[in-house]
């Protein structure tokens, strides 16, 4: 029996997997430096958290969740997104009673039963950030700037920011009604017609060309914003401009989750084909109450790690894999292996990246392994060296080789590699 990774999933293997780590670090870095604290929540939650928090009418809840009944009879779901979990944790731990805003970031695996294709997987990885407890346009703008800085720090030059406002509970109902009137007159399938009644904004997010073609004349939310939403949105735009972050107004931008209000944004990359969104987010002022919490406004984003790696690839920025280690130890014989082992440990404790030849290969095989490791130096120990209390230090780029006393080799290598 041969096992394979399940459909829609895959393995990140070395050396490409190094890029995944680098992307996570780069995307989280700006938020960490802006005072966001790390939060880690479980990979599964009570199913109700997502059905209420993400929204009953969303694709995620209607067809993408991995839901199962635990042995204890509880309905649990593998998390399809992070925001509902973070808000749940903030409520559960009563953080809203402390200093506001609460700023948190996370990184991890998410699960959606999607139609698997390039850039769209059933298991994927996101870095996210959320700021709760303040309704301040500077917070919306801060998060957007942090995400753009994260992409930029990876060297990406073709990430575009699409920006919109979805209004609030004051102005959204009138827009919703106008949109429903428009949509009811279109030629749509039954499922979509139902969606018009439950969550008409979601219809604007339909990706099918035959639907998109009919949406050209749809009323725009930006024409229906109340005064407060308009002013708020203007403030966000002004702050982005002041921070030199270019944006494109996209009055048709809606997002797949039900909880968004006001500021809504997406980061897109043009080198990725249909799955162009490398990240997205927005304000979700009603979410806390939807899941039984206090009134707690929030804004946040989630950035796709896998698609960001694809974007790096599309821009030719996938770094050449660096050498895995600095030093590679080659023992010539059993006695040498016993003696080189503690030397390897000492070199590692001194902070050097060190590997050694395993499996009792001959000199030729061991030297080949040393070359393949990418190490700058090989440390070779033979019987004659043991007698002399020394090791051979070979520079693998120049092939220069010198004997160094065993007692000095840690310092010598540290010096040469610093
Ligand atoms: P899309 O419109 O592409 O389905 P989404 O609106 O469902 O995206 P979000 O829930 O906002 O996406 O997630 C934020 C980011 O996570 C996306 O912009 C994308 O980069 C990434 N992402 C979402 N779903 C997947 C997936 N199935 N596979 C890989 N990455 C994903
Ligand atoms: Mg989606």
Average of per-residue pLDDT across 359-376: 90
- To test the pocket of ligand 1, the residue of 118, 263, 275, 277 to mutate (highest count of ligand atoms within 8 Å of its CB) is 277
Tell me: pLDDT of 323 over 80: no
Asked, for residue 146, whether it belongs to a domain, the answer is yes
Q: Are the C-beta atoms of residues 379 and 340 closer than 8 Å to each other?
A: yes
Atom of ligand 1 nearest to the CA of 303: 15
Nearest protein CA to atom 6 of ligand 1, as residue: 256
**Shared domain check, 202 and 163:** no
Annotated binding site for L-histidine: 81-83, 112, 126, 130, 255, 259-260
- Cis bond upstream, residue 94 (ω within 30): no
Nearest protein CA to atom 23 of ligand 1, as residue: 304
Is residue 79 within 6 Å of ligand 1 at its C-beta? no
**Shared domain check, 232 and 333:** no
Please tell me the distance from the alpha carbon of residue 211 to that of residue 147, in angstroms, as a whole number.
Answer: 31
Its domain, for residue 408, covers: 327-417
Asked, for residue 406, whether it belongs to a domain, the answer is yes
Asked, for residue 322, whether it belongs to a domain, the answer is no
**Shared domain check, 153 and 115:** yes
Whole-number Å distance, alpha carbon 39 to ligand 2 midpoint, is 23
Q: What is the pLDDT of residue 319?
A: 79
Asked, for residue 383, whether it belongs to a domain, the answer is yes
Please tell me the distance from the alpha carbon of residue 204 to that of residue 201, in angstroms, as a whole number.
Answer: 5
Is residue 315 within 6 Å of ligand 1 at its C-beta? no
Tell me: pLDDT of 257 over 70: no
Q: Are the C-beta atoms of residues 100 and 133 closer than 8 Å to each other?
A: yes
**Shared domain check, 200 and 71:** no
Average of per-residue pLDDT across 394-416: 96
Which CATH number fits the domain that encloses residue 380?
A: 3.40.50.800
**Shared domain check, 369 and 397:** yes
Asked, for residue 2, whether it belongs to a domain, the answer is no
Nearest protein CA to atom 26 of ligand 1, as residue: 120
Tell me: pLDDT of 129 over 80: yes
**Residue 274: pLDDT band by 50, 70, 90 thresholds?**
confident
Asked, for residue 5, whether it belongs to a domain, the answer is no
**pTM for the full predicted model:** 0.93
Whole-number Å distance, alpha carbon 15 to ligand 2 midpoint, is 29
> What tens digit of pLDDT does each residue of 141-171 get?
999 999 999 999 999 999 999 999 999 989 9
Which CATH number fits the domain that encloses residue 162?
A: 3.30.930.10
Question: How far apart, in Å, are the Cα atoms of 356 and each of 377, 381, 392?
Answer: 11, 11, 14
Q: What is the pLDDT of residue 198?
A: 86
Ligand 2 ion: Cβ-proximal residues, 5 Å cutoff: 256
Whole-number Å distance, alpha carbon 256 to ligand 2 midpoint, is 6
Atom of ligand 1 nearest to the CA of 122: 27
Is residue 120 within 6 Å of ligand 1 at its C-beta? yes
**Shared domain check, 176 and 144:** no
Using alpha carbons, select from 29, 54, 50 the residue that is nearest to residue 256. 54
**Shared domain check, 116 and 74:** yes
- C-alpha 90: how far from its chain's center? 21
Q: Which helix (H) or strand (E) holds 404?
A: strand 401-405
Q: For the packed helices 190-198 and 172-184, what is the interaxial angle rounded to 10 degrees? A: 160
**Shared domain check, 121 and 56:** yes
Single residue among 283, 314, 345 that ends a domain in this structure: 314
Asked, for residue 249, whether it belongs to a domain, the answer is yes
Q: What is the pLDDT of residue 1?
A: 80
Q: What is the pLDDT of residue 258?
A: 64
β-pairing, 75-78 with 67-69?
Answer: antiparallel
Nearest protein CA to atom 29 of ligand 1, as residue: 120
Q: What is the pLDDT of residue 12?
A: 95
Q: Are the C-beta atoms of residues 275 and 119 closer than 8 Å to each other?
A: yes
Is residue 81 within 6 Å of ligand 1 at its C-beta? yes
Is residue 202 within 6 Å of ligand 1 at its C-beta? no
> What tens digit of pLDDT does each residue of 49-94 get?
999 988 877 888 889 999 999 999 999 999 999 999 999 999 999 9
Tell me: pLDDT of 361 over 90: no
Q: What is the pLDDT of residue 316?
A: 95
Window from 210-214, 231-235, 404-408 with minimum mean pLDDT: 210-214
Question: Which bin fits 186, alpha (ψ -120 to 50), beta or left (φ > 0)?
Answer: beta
Single residue among 253, 281, 314 that ends a domain in this structure: 314
Tell me: pLDDT of 321 over 80: no
SS3 320: coil
**Shared domain check, 247 and 148:** yes
- To test the pocket of ligand 1, the residue of 50, 302, 306, 312 to mutate (highest count of ligand atoms within 8 Å of its CB) is 302
**Shared domain check, 180 and 64:** no
Q: What is the pLDDT of residue 256?
A: 59
Single residue among 292, 314, 336 that ends a domain in this structure: 314
**Shared domain check, 380 and 250:** no
In total, how many domains does the chain have?
A: 3
Nearest listed ligand to the Cα of residue 54: 1
Is residue 251 within 6 Å of ligand 1 at its C-beta? no
Nearest listed ligand to the Cα of residue 119: 1
Is residue 112 within 6 Å of ligand 1 at its C-beta? yes
Please tell me the distance from the alpha carbon of residue 32 to that of residue 25, in angstroms, as a whole number.
Answer: 10
Q: Which residue has the tokens 């010539």?
A: 332
Average of per-residue pLDDT across 112-139: 97
Is residue 101 within 6 Å of ligand 1 at its C-beta? no
Using alpha carbons, select from 343, 30, 26 the residue that is nearest to residue 155. 26
Asked, for residue 3, whether it belongs to a domain, the answer is no
- To test the pocket of ligand 1, the residue of 10, 124, 273 to mutate (highest count of ligand atoms within 8 Å of its CB) is 124
**Shared domain check, 331 and 290:** no
Average confidence score pLDDT of the chain:
94
């Amino acid at each position: 029996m041969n096992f394979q990774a399940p459909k829609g999933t895959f393995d990140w293997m070395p050396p490409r997997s190094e890029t995944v780590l680098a992307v996570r670090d780069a995307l989280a870095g700006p938020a960490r430096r802006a005072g966001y604290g790390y939060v880690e929540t479980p990979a599964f939650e009570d199913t109700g958290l997502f059905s209420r928090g993400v929204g009953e009418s969303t694709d995620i809840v209607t067809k993408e969740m991995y839901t199962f009944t635990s042995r204890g009879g509880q309905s649990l779901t593998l998390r399809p997104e992070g925001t509902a979990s973070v808000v749940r944790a903030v409520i559960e731990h009563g953080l809203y009673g402390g200093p506001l805003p609460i700023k948190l970031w996370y990184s991890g695996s998410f699960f959606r039963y999607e139609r698997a294709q390039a850039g769209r997987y059933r298991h994927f990885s996101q870095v996210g950030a959320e700021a709760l407890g303040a309704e301040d346009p500077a917070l919306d703008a801060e998060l957007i700037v942090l995400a753009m800085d994260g992409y930029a720090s990876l060297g990406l030059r073709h990430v575009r920011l699409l920006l919109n406002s979805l209004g609030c509970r004051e102005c959204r109902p009138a827009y919703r009604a106008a949109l429903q009137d428009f949509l009811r007159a279109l030629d749509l399938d039954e499922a979509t017609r139902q969606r018009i009644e439950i969550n008409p904004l979601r219809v604007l997010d339909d990706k099918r060309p035959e639907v998109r073609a009919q949406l050209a004349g749809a009323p725009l939310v930006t024409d229906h914003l109340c005064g407060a939403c308009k002013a708020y949105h203007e403030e966000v735009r002004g702050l982005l401009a002041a921070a030199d972050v270019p944006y494109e107004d996209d009055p048709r931008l809606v997002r797949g989750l039900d909880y968004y209000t006001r500021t809504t944004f997406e980061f897109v990359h043009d080198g990725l084909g249909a799955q162009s969104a490398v990240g997205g987010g927005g304000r979700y002022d009603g979410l806390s109450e939807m899941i039984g919490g206090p009134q707690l406004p929030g804004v946040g984003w989630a950035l796709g790690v896998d698609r960001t790696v694809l974007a790096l690839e599309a821009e030719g920025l996938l770094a050449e894999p660096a050498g895995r280690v600095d030093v590679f130890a080659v023992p010539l014989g059993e006695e040498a292996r016993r003696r080189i082992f503690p030397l390897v440990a000492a070199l590692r404790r001194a902070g050097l990246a060190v590997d050694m030849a395993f499996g009792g290969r001959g000199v030729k095989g061991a030297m080949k392994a040393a070359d393949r490791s990418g190490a700058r130096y090989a440390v070779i120990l033979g019987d004659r060296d043991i007698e002399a209390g020394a090791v051979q230090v070979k520079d693998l780029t120049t092939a220069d080789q010198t004997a160094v006393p065993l007692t000095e080799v840690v310092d010598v290598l540290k010096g040469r590699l610093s």
